[in-house]
Structure 1
């Protein structure tokens, strides 16, 4: 168990264990192995991003309703570089590059400021692959919670 697994939100671990179970002895599962009905309670927090072989690199295929609400818009169909939700496009793309290079789960926890509040966020990037070798899709599970400043209003 890595350090982050000891301290992450329990839902992150549940989604990670689901993904691991779908590997079935392979390095990573295919999108076809993921059954949305089995992830029903997590669907609002899931995003699917296609890994494409062109200048866009990563394109939002599906964005859960909670993710759309947190962002304030729906980036479905847009390139991550154009509709990222991070401190910069490079910072967002780096997360996808890591998961594609390692072909393994990638976890990141970073608080950020939304328009009207501070948010604590944990993201789990999970690679998916039709052939078990090349990542062709990334499934991201996000947990965000409002952070309150002590002594402030």
Structure 2
């Protein structure tokens, strides 16, 4: 499993990564840049076994302790048109304006990536399969930053086959603006 120190921000050369505007299905873990996201996806696949998706009750925080700072859990509300953050890991909180635990995504208009996240989460609910995305943003200190996230469905305990929750992992990366030669 993963063994990371307290600060996991990684700097990459600007030409190493392409940030996409839409989410993509995860066909192979090798498509993911982030070791954290790859580990999270493998954990989800282990929980899933031979089913389409694991039951939400299969998630045991103690079994993924090294991943917890990068983990988020969401309730899928209103048939996947809105989402409530049930858990937001400490590393994710460190990269956002506030801890959004307990808040609906529709209430977080000032975060800047709400529209992209809503589309990503809704696509996971609709497709009932993991998807990933790289989302770009700029920090207050002028770093061109992005994060990679992988989001996976968790089934309803009733066995109806509906997506009840989403589990995901995110890792942040920073690239100084000066590296690219443009803003």
Same fold (TM over 0.5): yes
* Category of TM-score, reference length = shorter chain: 0.7 to 0.9
Match of 2:50 in 1: 25
Match of 1:49 in 2: 74
Conservation of the 8 A alpha-carbon contact between 2:96 and 2:111: no
Q: Tell me if 1:12 matches 2:24.
A: no
Gaps of 5+ in 1: none
Which has the bigger relative contact order, CA under 8 A and spacing at least 6?
A: 2
The normalised TM-score by structure 2 is 0.73
Map 1:97-112 to 2 at 5 A: 97-112=122-137
The normalised TM-score by structure 1 is 0.86
CA distance in 2, matches of 1:95, 1:55: 10
Gaps of 5+ in 2: 1-25
96-105 or 114-123, larger mean C-alpha shift: 114-123
Match of 2:167 in 1: 139
The offset of 1:54, in angstroms, is 7.8
Conservation of the 8 A alpha-carbon contact between 1:103 and 1:127: yes
Conservation of the 8 A alpha-carbon contact between 1:122 and 1:142: yes
Please list the CA deviations of residues 58-94 of structure 1 after superposition, one character each: whole Å capped at 9, or x if unmatched: 1111111111110031111111021268645332211
Please list the CA deviations of residues 124-145 of structure 1 after superposition, one character each: whole Å capped at 9, or x if unmatched: 0111012261111011200102
Distance 1:127 1:55, change over 3 A: closer
Root-mean-square deviation (Å) = 2.5
- The alignment covers a number of residue pairs equal to 152
